[in-house]
Chains A and B, each alone.
Chain A
Amino acid sequence: MKPGSSNRPSGRTVVLAFAGAAAAAVALIVVALLFRSGSDAPAPSPTSGVELAGIPQDDRVLGDPAATVTMIEYSDPQCPACRSYTEDMFPTVVDEYVRPGKIKTEFRGFPFIGPDSVKALRFIYAAGLQDKLWQLQEALYRNQGGENAGWVTDELLRQVAGEIPGLDVDKLFVDAESDEIVQETESAGAAAQAAGITGTPTFLIKIGDAEPYAIQVAGVEQMAAALDDALKG
């Protein structure tokens, strides 16, 4: 093809097009910066998606103590994928497996994302001392903020803890500072790594006293299949 003068842009057009492209890029960046706040902290979901009242809870374990199958969840309170699990799959797990007494589920912290993870985990573990761990972790996921944005404030903790029936908020704050909880939170990361955990959420299934095995969960169907499988075996 041989472009003639009618088959090519004038220099002015090219300059204008490139200037327009640069302006479009700047506009995109400005829009991106302005509108990121829309998803800065994922909007808090105001109401709990799952009812836990009436389900036995003992420290970090939710469900019938007699259930043979235990699903262990390694979790970081700041991890968005853990929030997704808690909001999208956990209600089904509770309603179809935990409440009917088929399985019990155990919470284990793996606070690797940052200081907010560690602080949140201290309060989550402290809530376990009042057998309200699962309510608090669920409420914190619903109110999750941007990673290491300092969102785990005393105000937020007081507010979400205050909404959990039967949770003594003052005791929670005292327990969260106790040596036992602080130490346990600090060693949680090392313990998870020693168990071969590399990310969150990680799910393990333990049948009776057998060695726990990891399951890959990409959706609620896969989760249900893995649990059904464990119940059969």
Chain B
Amino acid sequence: MSDRSLRFAVAIVALAGIAVAGYLSWAHYADSTVVCVAGGGCETVQKSKYSEMAGVPVAALGLVAYVVVLALTAWDSWIARLSAAAIALTGLLFGAYLLALQFFVIDAICVWCLANDVLIAPALAVLTALRLRQDWGQTEGSDAV
């Protein structure tokens, strides 16, 4: 895959992340619209004590991360590519933690959170890593690590 298409894919996935994390951040603050539904769901997860850290909703952290990654795709340099990959990796690991919380601690699954933790965060990690790898592929072996 060319860097151009990879870059495009990263931007698309980051946009999807912005949409999902943006919705979840909005839902987190839109208190009065939230209803507790028998069987659990986004509301349970979003209202859980784990949905915030030090008063900041985890969804807002995700939103910031996706915005930064999107901004970094506009800046074509190895620093940008490396930073994007590092942020995506952090997001992937933190997403795995949030996923574990939903399954084992809160005992409720939120579809949009799942979309982020299972699809968007891993996709972004893979794509940003692939972009980074291209830096190496083209001059393979010429540089000692």
Using CB atoms and an 8 Å cutoff, list the residues of chain A in contact with chain B. Answer: 1-5, 7-14, 17-18, 20-22, 24-26, 28-29, 31-32, 35-41, 76, 79-82, 84-85, 88-89, 110, 112-113, 146-147, 193, 198-202, 217-220
Contacts and interface: CB of A to CB of B under 8 A. Distances in A.
B105 to A, nearest CB: 10
A36 B49 contact: yes
B138 A2 contact: yes
9 contacts: A14-B82, A17-B82, A22-B93, A32-B53, A32-B58, A32-B97, A38-B52, A88-B31, A198-B38
Interface of A is mostly: helix
B83 to A, nearest CB: 8
B16 interface: no
B50 A36 contact: yes
A88 B31 CA distance: 10
Counting chain B residues whose Cβ lies within 8 A of the other chain, the interface size class is 35 or more
B49 A39 contact: yes
Contacts of A22: 89-90, 93
B78 to A, nearest CB: 5
Contacts of B145: 10-12
A50 B33 CA distance: 21
B86 A31 contact: no
Interface string B85-114: 111011011100100000000000000000
Contact of B32 (A18, A25, A147, A218): A218
Contact of A36 (B33, B53, B135, B138): B53
B82 to A, nearest CB: 5
Contacts of A17: 82-83, 85-86
Given A3-B135, A22-B93, A24-B90, A84 B32 contact: yes
A18 B55 CA distance: 27
A8 B138 CA distance: 11
Contact of B34 (A8, A76, A84, A147): A84
Contacts of A24: 86, 90
B77 interface: yes
B136 interface: yes
Contact of A31 (B54, B138, B139, B142): B54
Residue picked from A17, A21, A25, A29, most chain B C-beta under 10 Å: A21
Given A3-B138, A35-B54, A81 B90 contact: no
B89 A1 contact: no
Contacts of A13: 82
